[in-house]
Structure 1
Amino acid sequence: MDKDGFEANDISMGRLPQNLKERFQLVEVDDPRVAIALFHIDTDGFGPGMKPLTYNEVRIPCLKKEGEKTNKIVKEHKVQWQTYGCSIMMDKWTAKNEKVIINVLVNSPRGSVFLESYDASDSSTNSNKMFNLFEKTLLKIGKENVVQIVIDNASENKKAGDILKGVFLKHFWTPCVAHCINFDVWSHFQAIKIHSYFSQRPLLLNITRRYTNQRNLGKSVKTRFTTAIMTLHSFYLQKKNLRTLFMSTGWSKIIYAKEALGEEVASYIVGPYFLNDTVQALKVCNPLLTVLRLVDGERKSPMGYIYEAMDRAKEAIKKAFDKDKRKYESF
């Protein structure tokens, strides 16, 4: 094996602990499972006698090479930013320690690349601080290269976006497609809100299985919206069993029946609007799933296909309601 081959093997072995940590959620890099994996690489993957990397070899030369490789990838993306322009995408999420983290990615015809992340625990609900973050990122990339900033449409982000458009007249703030669909559909249908009630009460889900032939009401999938739609479909299939549950003496004996929200849910499911509301929600949401699959897909950049996908979804929704404008207009 030549020098380049050995270096490639060293880098692969250096990545292994982190790859295993991400896949198997290992707590420590020196977990014994890593040692076992390294042993298999030693004997099977790279041939007998190849020496595994030491701690310092992983920490210093391998890490440096990985940094150089990553910087090279980012530089290749920057060429595209300068030629075709780019979109800044900000993903806000809450870590296990309750810190609010904003991941900053940049999208161009080359694809998406991670740029950096911020601890936004003290600024995520402040529109002025969010604008400062927008401005800082915009200037770092080069305002002449940026077309828009994409982030969820929380109120502070909307205000920050309005400030952005006032200061940088040629730039746009665009709300995230997935977040808009989630928010808009959630606000329309009581049936989708019922999904949240069930998902937050594991004990209730277990009790429900007694009435649904041990079938689960929901299935966790990639996005919250998709999970809700899968659950709604289960609600529709199990509508008789759900009504049997909430009309039974077993329901009246459990703690949830005494909650105000529990009484509201039971009354809704037993009442006359549940079935119709569920059917209407599915008519609206199923076409939107196609849009979300496009947005969440990783095979190609979805930016150039979003408007056509939304137009097709609108046509599918109209058709589902027999083109009765009174029924679909609010969506």
Structure 2
Amino acid sequence: MAASVGGAMFLKAAEASGNIKDVDYVANLFKPVIQEVGSQNIIQVITNNGSNFKVAGGIIESIYPHIFWTPCVVHCLNLALKSIYEPSKNSPQFAECKWIADLVSSVQNIRNFIVNHSMVLSIFNTYSKLGLLRVAETRFALNIIMAKRMREVNDALEKMVMDSSWRMHLKWDGKSAIEIKVREVKISIVNDSWWADLEYLLDFTESIVEFLRLANTDALVLHLIYDMWDTMIEKVKSRIFGHEKQDLLTGQCNFFDVIHNILETRWNKSNNPLHCMAHSLVPKYYTEGWIGGGNDGVSRLSPHEDQEVFLNRNKCFKRLFSNQDDLQKVYIEYGAFSSGSGGDKFDIDGNTLGELVELSINEPELELMTFDEEFEESTTLGTEQPEEFQQGMMD
């Protein structure tokens, strides 16, 4: 798929089911498409985060220095969520996140038990107008979506297990495996602590899911990505510290340290110079209101005072402007813009900075996007499913 400020369009698909999707194969899929579109019209190539795609993206960057390989932000967020609610036993976060893994497993068991037993489902439907979602495995944040639906039907679930038909119609003998499952389901549903844990999970992951939703659209958000990561992490901290009754400035929380490390690791893997440059070209991020915290209370640094943004912005400028005279003009114009002395026209010898960089103030003129099917069934230049198509547009 190719996307620009004018929208997205399908370019081509590749049948890859009989091929090994190694680095060379992936890179050789990119090259002819880049030549067909015109390398001068492309700013970035977006893929998922597989190691083969990362190396292939590096090959493209070495051939075309002005084209950036960008890992899919939505995919990064989904992997971060998965690390939180499905931690491996050998992972450093397992001890702190085990309660989440147990909770998510319980949510899945309750949902599966109800929908797989017609009599139980009939009792549930008596009290609820909402169904229990069947979330596709490829859907982002699927376990969070399922947990949220559980909260929405809390009252119906409690009435279901208290209904006289709960036992009368099912005729439990007290010894079978299904009886054990029934008891487990009922114990969870009538347990206030279980619901409190569910509420806590949904509360501190809310900003992560919200970021994922904003990024997983066809809206132009490249210029917002850097700030959305920072804001999301600060909101997660606020929710966790509030729950643990810790002071935001002086408090310590091992659980947050683990969650922060997961999110920061994913951010470091997905952040690239293009995000920082786009962030630097948004006038709002230089205003006193935004720097002071605005509506969300998160204090920030302006782009020209942030060291990480500074370093990556310079990397981006150098790759986009190989001519030293043009590069010097860009530095001058950016300095005038960031100090507020240059207005908002970026006039350089009759051309705007946006024209020279081939970027608008917010977005690349054209992005080339490619995705690898999550379960390695096939590879396409574009998307495998209509739902998955939207993940690429977030960048």
Aligned length: 221
Q: Whole-Å Cα distance in 2 between the matches of residues 109 and 125 of structure 1?
A: 31
| Change in CA separation of 1:284 and 1:140 when aligned onto 2, cut-off 3 Å | farther
Matches within 5 A, 1:189-208: 189=85, 190=101, 191-192=103-104, 198=111, 202-204=115-117, 207=120
| Secondary structure class of the residue paired with 2:3 | strand
Aligned counterparts of 2:18 and 2:113: Cα–Cα separation in 1: 28
Question: Separation in 2 of the partners of 1:281 and 1:210?
Answer: 28
Query: Which amino acid in 2 is paired with 1:319?
Result: S
Determine the structure 2 residue equivalent to 1:118: 14
- 1:330 and 2:258 matched: yes
- Listed as ranges, the matches of 1:26-41 within 5 Å are none
Greater helix percent: which structure?
Answer: 1
SS in 2 for 1:313: helix
| 8 Å Cα contact 1:111-1:301 kept in structure 2 | no
2:254 maps to a residue whose letter is R
Q: How does 1:139-288 map to 2 (within 5 A)?
A: 139-189=35-85, 190=101, 191-192=103-104, 198=111, 202-204=115-117, 207=120, 210-211=123-124, 213-214=127-128, 216=130, 218-219=132-133, 224-225=139-140, 228-236=143-151, 241=157, 257=177, 269=188, 274-275=194-195, 277-288=197-208
- Matches of 2:237 and 2:83, distance apart in 1: 19
Cα deviation for residue 224 of structure 1 reads 2.2
Q: How far apart are 1:129 and its partner, in Å?
A: 1.3
Give the distance between the partners of 1:307 and 1:251, measured in 2 at CA. 57
User: Alpha-carbon deviation of 1:185?
Assistant: 0.4
Which AA in structure 2 matches 1:288?
A: I
Q: Secondary structure at the match of 1:112?
A: strand
CA deviation profile, 1:116-168 (whole Å, cap 9, x unmatched): 22222234743331222122322322233322211222343234334444554
Counterpart Cα distance in 2 of 1:116 and 1:282: 39
3-state secondary structure, aligned to 1:118? coil
Distance 1:257 1:308, change over 3 A: farther
Q: Evaluate the alpha carbon distance shift between residue 124 and residue 308 of structure 1 in structure 2; reply closer, same or farther with a 3 A threshold.
A: farther
Contact 2:135 2:146 in 1 (8 A): no
For the residue of structure 2 that corresponds to 1:119, the secondary structure is coil
Aligned-residue Cα RMSD (Å) equals: 4.5
What are the equivalent positions in structure 2 for 1:288-307 lying under 5 Å apart?
288-298=208-218, 300-307=219-226
CA distance in 2, matches of 1:199, 1:229: 16
Q: What residue in structure 1 maps to residue 232 of structure 2?
A: 313
Distance of aligned partners of 1:200 and 1:151 in 2 relative to their CA distance in 1, 3 Å threshold: farther
| Structure-1-length-normalised TM-score | 0.51
How far apart are the structure 2 equivalents of 1:166 and 1:155?
A: 17
Amino acid at match of 2:150: F
CA distance in 1, matches of 2:61, 2:46: 13
State the one-letter code of the partner of 1:295: A
Query: Residue 231 of structure 1 aligns to which amino acid in structure 2?
Result: M
* Alignment partner, residue 286 of structure 2: none
In the alignment, structure 2 segments of 5+ residues that lack a partner are: 86-100, 243-247, 260-395
The question of whether the paired residues in 1 share the 8 Å contact of 2:78 and 2:141 is answered with no
The alpha-carbon deviation at position 106 of structure 1 amounts to 1.5
Shift of 1:320: 0.9
Residue 282 to residue 170, structure 1, CA distance change in 2 (3 Å): same
Q: How does 1:73-112 map to 2 (within 5 A)?
A: 105-112=1-8
Are the aligned partners of 1:186 and 1:192 in contact in 2 as well (CA < 8 Å)? no
Contact kept? 2:115, 2:121, Cα under 8 Å: no
Q: Secondary structure, in 3 states, of the residue corresponding to 1:329?
A: helix
Q: Classify 1:325/1:159 alpha carbon distance in 2 versus 1 (closer, same or farther; 3 Å).
A: farther
Cα displacement string for residues 69-126 of structure 1 (whole angstroms, at most 9, x for unaligned residues)? xxxxxxxxxxxxxxxxxxxxxxxxxxxxxxxxxxxx1222333222222222234743
Going from structure 1 to structure 2, the CA distance change for 1:169 and 1:268 (only over 3 Å counts) comes to farther
State the TM-score, normalizing by the size of structure 2: 0.44
Task: Looking at secondary structure, tell me which structure has more strand per residue.
Answer: 1
The amino acid that maps onto 2:236 is: I
Change (3 A) 1:243 1:288: farther
Find the counterpart in structure 2 of residue 30 from structure 1.
Answer: none
Gaps of 5+ in 1: 1-104
Whole-angstrom CA distance in 1 between matches of 2:210 and 2:238: 16
Show the 5 A alignment for 1:20-59.
none
Residues 125/326 of structure 1: CA separation in 2 closer, same or farther (3 Å cut): same
